[in-house]
Amino acid sequence: MTSITGLSALQVSKLSSTFISGLTTTQVSALAATQIAALSTSGVNVLSTTQLGALSTTQVKAFTGTQVKSLSTTQVGYLATGQIAFTSGQLAALLTAQLQQLSTTAVSGLDTTQLGGLTATEIGGLSNSQFQSLTSTQLGKFRADQAKAITTTDIGLLTTTQVGGLLSTQLSSLSAAQINTLSTTNINALTTTQATSLTTTAVGALTTTQFAAVSTTLLPELNATQLKAISTTNLNQLTTTQVGGLSSTILGALTTTQFGGLNSTAVGALTSTQVNGLTTAQLASVKATGISGISTTDVSALTTTLAAALTADQVAALNTTQLQAFSSTQLNSLTATAIAGLKSTQVSGLTTTDVTALDATHLAALSTTILGVLDTTQINALSTTQVAALKTAQLNALSLTGITDLSTTDITNLTTSQLAGLTTTQVGRLTTTQVGALSSTQVASLTAAQAQTLNTSDITQLSTTQVSGVTATQVTALSTTQVTTLTSTQFGALTATALSGLSAAQAQRLTTSQLGALNTTQLNALSTNALAALSSTQVNGFTTTQVAGLTATKLSALNKTALAGLTTTDIDNISTTQLTKLSAEQVGALGAANLGELTSTAFSSLSTTQLNGVTSTEIGSLSSTQLSSLSATQLNSLTTAAFHAIGGVVAGALNSTQVAGLAATRLAALTTTAVTNLTTTALTGLAPTQAAALTGTQAAAVTSTQAVSLATTQLNGLTADGVKGLTTTVATALTTTQAAGLSSTFLNSLSTATFALLTSTQAGALTTTQLGALSTTNVGAITSTQLTGVSTTQLTGLNATQVGSLANTAFAGLSTTQITNLSTTQALGITSSQLAGLTTTNLTTLSSTQVGALAVRTLSSLTSTVLGNLTTTQVGGLNSTQVGTLSTTSLAGLSTTGVTNLTTTQLGGLTATQVHGLSSGQVIALNTTQFSNLTTGQLAGLTSTQAGALTSTLVNSLSTTNFSALTATAVGNLSTTAIQGIDTTHLSNMTPTQLSSLTDTQFNAMSGAQIAVL
């Protein structure tokens, strides 16, 4: 004992848990406070309940906060009530689990100081039984943070006594959730001081059940701030008695949001005094569902200021009875928006007094839907001033019956905007009397669609004054039936502007009487589309004045069929300005009679485009005066078919200027009759390029007179087809001057038959250039007669090919002079058939040079007769090549004299075949020089017959080499005379083959000397 109490604090702190747990209760109770505080937490934790029970309150108070926390919940639970003498600090150190081990007796025994030591967490950690054990005094000592920590469950378990102990500061610290758990009994038990201490959040959080428990005495005691916090849900829970007990002060404190949440029952519970005490903002904030509960007494008691505050939704929510409770002054106090929001069921219940009481502003505010439900009684109650105040859309909304109920005075006073706002159905329902009451200005204000709804009876009774107000847009909108309903007087009353709106479809239906009522200004006001739609019958009804008064543009708007309705009198009065505005198609539609009525001045004023529309039928009926007034450009604008229709008489009226300007296509379109009738003067204007346009058929129509008047440039302008078309009469009529100027194209385009008919004089006029350019075809057509007119100089223009193209008869007709003057170049073209056709005289006229120039093709086909008729001189002119081309047949015609005169060069040109073809007589006609110069090849080709004719002189003239070239057959056929004359030199050079070919007869004929050398 002494040893324990004598231990220092440090020594005590070193004691082990085992040691401490072994201490007796006497030893424990003897521990000083300093020793208690020095115990380790593990040492404290092992103290048994018996040991703890031995501790005094002083010793317990000595525990440090750390030691207190180390106590187990079991240890804390075994502490005796007297021992719970924890300081505030110790209590604050307790864990929630430890605190909850305190008994309710211990908790209720805690003093103010101890309670003050509890943290908010510990307060919140108290068990329900512990919290219920707290006295009202203890609760009244809670700090604000401790009060906030009370759980909602504990708040809900508070007794009225406990709640009564709460201070205003504590209540004001409670959260909305905490207040929300107070029982209705506790709420009703709150004192005025307590109630006024509630925060606005708390007040706003009161449940409907809690708020319903607020006593009628307590509610008025709430301050303005608290009142504003009351939810609309709670306000709507108030009983009629509670609502009736609300003072103007209380109501005045409520916000617009709160008023906005009031239901119809709450609003219906308000007295007239209360309603009139509301601000305009409060009243306006009440929802439509809420305002529907207002009593008729309250409605009739509303001040005009409050009435004006009602919104459109609120007014629309009122039933008919409530609406009828408004006085006229109140109705006119409502805003225009509110009036506009009225429903049809509400307005249909308005009395005529209510309707007539509405001022212009409020009447104008009525929606179109509302006006549509006004019945006849209500509409008839409207004053003219009220009707005039209606908007166009409102009038538009009136029922058809409502429209017909309007008086003529109402109709007359309608503005143009109001009228324009009427629907087409409404306008269509206007009575004839109402339509008749419209002014011309009002008539003009009707829309196109509205005008379409006027029936024929409405239209026929319109005055000319009213008709004068009709607009172009309205006219366009009228149906054809409506337009044709107008009398000629009414139609004539339409303004020019209005008539401009007439459509094509409408114009087509107009009568001649209606059109006849128009003056020129009105007629010109018609659109081009409308005029274009008129028929020939309608146009035929035009007066001459109307036709003459039409502008050029308007006249040109008439369609081609309608223009046919113009009379010749009308045509006589048409100005050139009008005429020149017509299209080509329109001009063509005037017809032959009307076109024929035009003066030459008027006709010549037509443009090229317009003239293009003139038909072939119309052209054929025009006078030569009219056509001769046209320029070449205008003539060219005529269609090909129209130009083709120009008659011979008219063509004869054309001048050179017109002809010169004609396009090729137009010239080609002239008929043969027209071509024949062209004057020679007119033809002088024909350019070469134009002449090229003439067809062969047209050229065939050209007369000799016309032809000789043409310049060579014009003739040369003709195409090949045109040249071929010229008649032989025309061709042979051409002058020598013309002939000399003809181009090669022209000459070569002449048919061979025509060319052959040219006179020798015409042929003699041709130049060497012209002759040289002739085609071989036309050269072949030249006759011997024509050649008699051709000089030797002219003939030099022919080339070799052309010379070869001359017909045999023509070549045979050449004079010896003409033949003699042929150049060697030309001689190259001479054919064998041409030579064969020559007389011997003409043939032998050819010089050896000319013969030497003959082509090999000519010589190769030369007849033996021709070759035989050649002189030796001529034959001598042949070169070896020419000789080599001679056929064996032609060579057969060569005389022995001719053969004798062949040069060695010529003979060298002969082939073995040619030599083989020579007759025996021709061979032996060769002299020794000629024979000795024959080649071995030529000699090898000698036939047995030719060999048999050889003389020994010819054989001995051969060189030994050439002699060796004689074939065995040739040697074997040598005559015995020839054998006997062969010298020993040649015999000694015989080849074995040659020797073997010698016959016995030949051997027998040989001399001994000859045989000796063999």
Residues 182 and 88 grouped into a single domain: no
Please, are residues 810 and 784 in contact by the beta-carbon 8 Å criterion?
A: yes
Q: Assign 600 a pLDDT band (cuts: 50, 70, 90).
A: confident
- Per-residue pLDDT, 669: 86
How would DSSP label each residue in 949-963? Answer: H--HHHHHTS-HHHH
Residue 759's pLDDT is 92
Judged against a pLDDT cut of 50, whether residue 1 lies above it is answered with: no
- Which range, 5-19, 619-633, 639-653, 700-714, is most confident? 700-714
- What is the mean predicted confidence (pLDDT) over 543-565? 91
Q: Report which of 285, 276, 281, 347 is spatially closest to residue 316, judged by C-alpha positions.
A: 347
CA dist list (Å): 316 to 197, 288, 340: 42, 8, 9
DSSP letter (8 states) at residue 821: T
What digits encode the pLDDT tens for the residues 852-903? Answer: 999 999 999 999 999 999 999 999 999 999 999 999 999 999 999 999 999 9
User: Percentage of residues in the chain with pLDDT exceeding 70?
Assistant: 93
Put residue 303 in one of left, alpha, beta given phi > 0 → left and psi -120 to 50 → alpha. Answer: beta
Q: Average pLDDT for residues 816-837, to the nearest whole number?
A: 95
Question: Beta-carbon neighbour count of residue 811 at 10 Å?
Answer: 24
pTM score, whole prediction: 0.45
243: DSSP letter:
H
pLDDT for residue 29 is more than 50? yes
For residue 31, the Cα-to-chain-centroid distance in whole angstroms is 111
pLDDT in tens, 418-476: 888 888 888 888 888 888 888 888 888 898 898 899 988 888 889 999 899 999 999 99
For residue 538, give the amino acid letter.
Q
C-alpha to C-alpha distance for 382 and 354, rounded to whole angstroms? 10
By percentage, how much of the chain surpasses pLDDT 90? 38
Given a cut of 60, is residue 80 above it in pLDDT? no
**Is 274 found in the same domain as 173?**
no
- 194 and 96 inside one domain: no
Q: Distance between CA atoms of 517 and 33, rounded to whole angstroms?
A: 139
Residue 797 maps to a domain: no
pLDDT of residue 81: 54
Q: What is the pLDDT of residue 668?
A: 87
At 399-419, the pLDDT tens digits run 777 788 888 888 888 888 888
Is there a domain that residue 934 lies in?
Answer: yes
Give, in order, the Cα–Cα distances in Å from 689 to each of 247, 665, 677, 709, 713: 122, 11, 21, 17, 9
Query: Rounded to whole angstroms, what are the CA distances from 487 to 430, 473, 484, 509, 517?
Result: 22, 20, 8, 13, 10
| H helix intervals, 726-871 | 728-733, 736-741, 744-749, 752-756, 760-765, 768-773, 776-781, 784-787, 792-795, 800-805, 808-812, 816-820, 824-827, 832-837, 840-845, 848-852, 856-860, 864-869
Q: Is residue 153 part of a domain?
A: no
DSSP letters spanning 599-634: -HHHHHTS-HHHHTT--HHHHHHS-HHHHHTS-HHH
Mean pLDDT confidence for 623-638:
86
Domain boundary among 179, 201, 230: 230
Same domain, 130 and 60: yes
Residue 256 belongs to some domain of the structure: yes
- What's the 3-state SS for 163-178? HHCCCHHHHHHCCHHH
Q: Is residue 242 part of a domain?
A: yes
Most confident region among 136-140, 594-598, 828-832 by mean pLDDT: 828-832
Q: Which two three-digit tokens encode residue 604?
A: 């010549």
User: At residue 438, what is the residue type?
Assistant: L
**Mean pLDDT within 88-112:** 69
Pairs from 617-623 (Cβ < 8 Å, separation ≥ 24)? 617/592, 617/645, 618/588, 618/590, 618/591, 618/592, 618/642, 619/643, 619/645, 619/646, 620/592, 620/645, 620/646, 620/647, 621/592, 621/595, 621/596, 622/592, 622/595, 622/596, 622/650, 623/596, 623/650
Tell me, yes or no, whether 213 and 304 share the same domain. no
CB atoms within 10 A of CB 577: 11
Biggest alpha carbon–alpha carbon distance for the chain = 208
Chosen domain end from 251, 285, 311: 311
Nearest CA to 779 out of 735, 820, 831 is that of 831
Q: Quote the CA–CA distance of 553 and 575 in Å, as a whole number.
A: 12
* Stretch 588-611: mean pLDDT: 86
Residue 91: band (very low, low, confident or very high) from pLDDT cuts 50, 70, 90: low
329, pLDDT greater than 70: yes
**Interatomic CA distance for residues 141 and 160, integer angstroms:** 17
pLDDT band with cut points at 50, 70 and 90 for residue 395: confident
pLDDT of residue 930: 94
Residue 731 amino acid letter = A
Q: What domain range is 222 assigned to?
A: 159-230
Please report the pLDDT score of residue 182 as a whole number. Answer: 80
State the pLDDT at residue 224.
65
Cα gap 394→402, rounded to integer Å:
12
Which are the contacts of 798, defined by CB distance < 8 A and separation ≥ 6? Answer: 771, 772, 774, 779, 806, 826
Which residues, 6+ apart, have CB-to-CB distance to 24 below 8 Å?
none
Q: Which of 100, 134, 168 is the last residue of a domain?
A: 134
pLDDT of residue 171: 73
**pLDDT band for position 2 (50/70/90)?**
very low
More reliable by pLDDT, 104 or 701? 701
Average pLDDT of span 833-845: 95
**Structure tokens of 225?**
């701030």
Distance CA 145, CA 141 (A): 12
Residue 90 binned pLDDT confidence (cut-offs 50, 70, 90): low
Per-residue model confidence (pLDDT) at position 911: 92
| Residue 5 domain flag | yes
- Mean pLDDT confidence for 177-196: 75
Count other C-beta atoms under 10 Å from residue 326's C-beta: 23
959 falls within a domain = yes
Q: How confident is the model at residue 215 (pLDDT cuts 50, 70, 90)?
A: low
For residues 753 and 302, give the distance between their C-alpha atoms in angstroms, rounded to a whole number.
130
Residues 1006 and 925 in one domain: yes
Number of domains comprising the chain:
4
**If you search the block for the tokens 């159905």, which residue do you land on?**
425
- Claim to verify: residue 238 and residue 298 sit in the same structural domain: yes
**Domain match, 113 and 181 both:** no
Between 187-201, 351-365, 820-834, 868-882, the lowest mean confidence (pLDDT) is in: 187-201
Assess if residue 384 is contained within a domain. Answer: no
pLDDT for residue 176 is more than 80: no
**Which of 640-644, 655-659, 944-948 is the most confident on average?**
944-948
CB 1013 within 8 A of CB 986: no
Is 90 exceeded by the pLDDT of residue 920? yes
Q: Which helix H or strand E contains 5, and what residues bound it?
A: helix 2-5
Highest averaged pLDDT of the listed ranges 285-294, 384-393, 609-618, 878-887: 878-887
Sign of CA pseudo-dihedral 166, 169, 172, 173: negative
User: In the predicted model, what is the mean pLDDT of residues 52-75?
Assistant: 81
What's the whole-number average pLDDT of the chain?
86
Compute the distance between CA of residue 246 and CA of residue 45 in angstroms, rounded to an integer: 65
H/E element holding 147? helix 144-149
For residue 587, the model assigns a pLDDT of 87
Residues 183 and 258 in one domain: no
Same domain, residue pair 203 and 94? no
Domain shared by 172 and 113, yes or no:
no
Whether residue 124 sits in one domain with residue 9? yes
Q: What is the pLDDT of residue 590?
A: 86
